[in-house]
Amino acid sequence: MVREISAGGLVIRRSDSEWMLAVIEPQREHGAGTKTILALPKGIVDAGEAPEQTALREVQEETGLLATPITKLSDIKYVYVRSWGDKERVFKIVSFYLLHYESGEIGQIVPEMKIEVKQALWIPLKEAARKLSYRGEKDMVRRAQEYLQSHPEVQA
């Protein structure tokens, strides 16, 4: 089976009283249905690139935010069928990192990225496990929440 290795980020930011998480609404492929998808920013790890670097780069490209690493959370794995070409089955591994917001305005992305990202938005971290579309990404949110609970030194 074809393999893809990606990396992505959970960018968190403290608003007045709660943690917020940066998420994206990916552009749907033509005919892929009408349900709104909410997902984490991520992308393919380039040759020679460290996955953590990929996560920071993809976060910047897809959300417009600059962030710094806090910790690696975990990997998720899934299989999907390519909608293009010879419709190959792909085994995919995505490494996710917990990242701290540094700067930037969410959604300020270059026009070329708008082909991939319909919008980027902050949502409360405590609603994210419910609102994200994919099970593996919901799990990542729970891990992020556990990490923050056991590491109160992570500050706004």
DSSP for residue 39:
B
Q: Is 138 in the site for ligand ATP (CB under 6 A)?
A: no
Interface size with ligand ATP, residues (CB under 6 A):
11
Instruction: Name which position in 44, 93, 113, 154 contacts ligand ATP (CB under 6 A).
Output: 44
The rounded distance, in Å, linking the Cα atoms of 21 and 135 is 17
Q: Residue 73 in contact with residue 96, Cβ under 8 Å?
A: yes
Q: Where are the alpha helices (DSSP H) in the chain?
A: 51-63, 125-131, 135-150
Instruction: Name which position in 42, 98, 117, 141 contacts ligand ATP (CB under 6 A).
Output: 42
| Structure token digits, residue 156 | 């706004």
| Structure token digits, residue 22 | 């940066």
Residue placing its CB nearer to ligand ATP in the complex, 18 or 46: 46
Q: To which residue do tokens 């976060």 refer? A: 59
CB of 113 to ligand ATP, least distance (A): 12
Nearest to 61 by CA among 93, 26, 94, 90: 26
Pick the piece of the chain touching ligand ATP (CB under 6 A) from 16-24, 63-71, 120-128, 132-140: 132-140
Q: Is 134 in the site for ligand ATP (CB under 6 A)?
A: yes
Please report how many Cα atoms fall inside a 13 Å half-sphere around the Cα of residue 79, on the Cβ side: 5
Q: Where are the alpha helices (DSSP H) in 6-124?
A: 51-63
Pick the piece of the chain touching ligand ATP (CB under 6 A) from 16-24, 63-71, 107-115, 131-139: 131-139
Pick the piece of the chain touching ligand ATP (CB under 6 A) from 39-47, 100-108, 122-130, 140-148: 39-47
Q: Build a one-symbol-per-residue string for 62-91: x at contacts with ligand ATP by CB under 6 A, - elsewhere.
A: --------------x-x-x-----------
Q: Which residues bind ligand ATP (CB under 6 A)?
A: 6, 42-44, 76, 78, 80, 92, 134, 136-137
